[in-house]
Copies of this chain bind each other. A is one copy, B any other.
Amino acid sequence: MTDVLREITLEDLDALEIGAAILGTGGGGNPYIGKLRCREQLRMGRKVPVIPLNELPDDALVVSLGGIGAPVVGVEKIEEGEECLRALRAVEEEVGQKVDALISAEIGGSNSMEPILTAAQAGLPVVDGDGMGRAFPEMQMITWSIYGQRSVPAAMADEKGNVVVFRTTPSDKWLEDLARSCVVTMGAAAGLAQAPMRGEFVKRAAIPNTVTQARNLGRAVLEANAQNRDPVQAVIDQENGRLLMTAKISDLERHLKGGFAVGQLSLEGFGAFQGDTGRIDLQNEFLIFMRNGIVEVCVPDLVVVLDADTGLPITTEMLRYGQRIAILGLPCHALLRTPEALAVVGPAAFGYHDITFNPMKPNGSTS
């Protein structure tokens, strides 16, 4: 199941939803509403071509798109549906030029769907890649920024008619802070268009093929379920990941802090992991997995929580005491493991100054 997407079709959407949610590592927002909107567009006959990175013209103008806000709010406050389109138009006004293609800021979670929806509305293609290869909580945690492309001018639009343009900021962290302030005022959900950039740069800096990757990953889960195979194993096989633990949630601490879901899970192993204890730390996304007090997998590698039975991903807002889960580690892309990337998305960037990132051990190795 490695065939490459050339166009988003109705058949891809369910698979993409599941794959994107798995890559969201508990955060990134639920892609469900976005999927429904995309489905509506495709049923109306709109086409969304997918451009592989190597076919993207060097001089193409590409804009990075995504929703910004608190996932827990997105569950109840449904977007009007053209937030990202209005943000895109505002960035086009800023640069005085029409955009040639859209790319997802973040393949993990709901932002997998936003560029597809906007592409359908605007009659544009999407690029097969994204700026995170997973989900991250803040906007400067993106390969555009890490590899030298400023995210300004950026524009944010909400469902009420507010359009705010961030014309210049001294850093992308400043953009994050200002956009975060605005989105809280807007009611914790808005569309954001950022980082107008050339194809030549996107080819170097995007995490490649992640739209295809998410679709293929979701398809692997769907097919495993249809064929009565173990869906958890299907995820591991598809992503070259590793089963870290099957466990019951024995304690759950989770609160909102500055618009983010922050907390930790305590785990009691079962099955092959009987007797083990575990802990997962989260900041919107699952960041750190510890077994018996020792860090085993940490950000930017992916800590994924699946329902132990169905293999479907569990997001941080769906966690509850007593849940039986499978915890997987999935290796992140090499572009997130460079020193310049780790300075922005490594454990220290999340406040874990005493944890050094060690790439997770691959499948089949002893832990």
Contacts and interface: CB of A to CB of B under 8 A. Distances in A.
Given A165-B165, A165-B167, A167-B90, A160 B182 contact: no
Interface string A139-166: 0000000000000000100001111111
A277 interface: no
Interface of A: 90, 155, 160-170, 174, 177-178, 180-182, 184-186
Contacts of A167: 90, 155, 163-165
A239 B162 CA distance: 41
Contacts of A166: 162-165
Given A162-B168, A178-B182, A181-B184, 6 more contacts: A155-B167, A162-B170, A163-B166, A164-B165, A164-B178, A165-B166
A160 B168 CA distance: 10
Given A165-B167, A167-B90, A167-B165, A160 B174 contact: yes
A167 B170 CA distance: 21
List the number of copies, as a whole number. 2
Nearest to A155: B167
A96 B17 CA distance: 43
Nearest to A166: B164
A331 to B, nearest CB: 35
A186 B170 CA distance: 11
A interface SS class: mixed
Nearest to A186: B178
Contacts of A90: 167
Given A164-B165, A165-B164, A165-B165, A178 B185 contact: yes
A258 to B, nearest CB: 12
Contacts of A163: 166-169
Nearest to A168: B163
A181 B184 CA distance: 8
B161 A170 contact: yes
Contacts of A185: 177-178, 180-181
A161 B180 CA distance: 18
Contacts of A186: 178
A161 B169 contact: yes
Contacts of A178: 162, 164, 182, 185-186
Contacts of A164: 164-167, 178
A218 B127 CA distance: 64
A169 B162 contact: yes
Nearest to A162: B169
A103 B164 CA distance: 24
A170 B160 CA distance: 7
A292 B230 CA distance: 79
Nearest to A170: B161
A163 B162 CA distance: 17
Contacts of A182: 178, 181-182
Return the 8 tightest CB-CB contacts between A and B, nearest first: A181-B181, A165-B165, A161-B170, A163-B167, A181-B185, A163-B168, A177-B185, A162-B169
A233 B180 CA distance: 50
Contacts of A162: 166, 168-170, 174, 178
A163 B178 CA distance: 10
Q: Which of A90, A170, A181, A184 has the most CB of B within 10 A?
A: A181
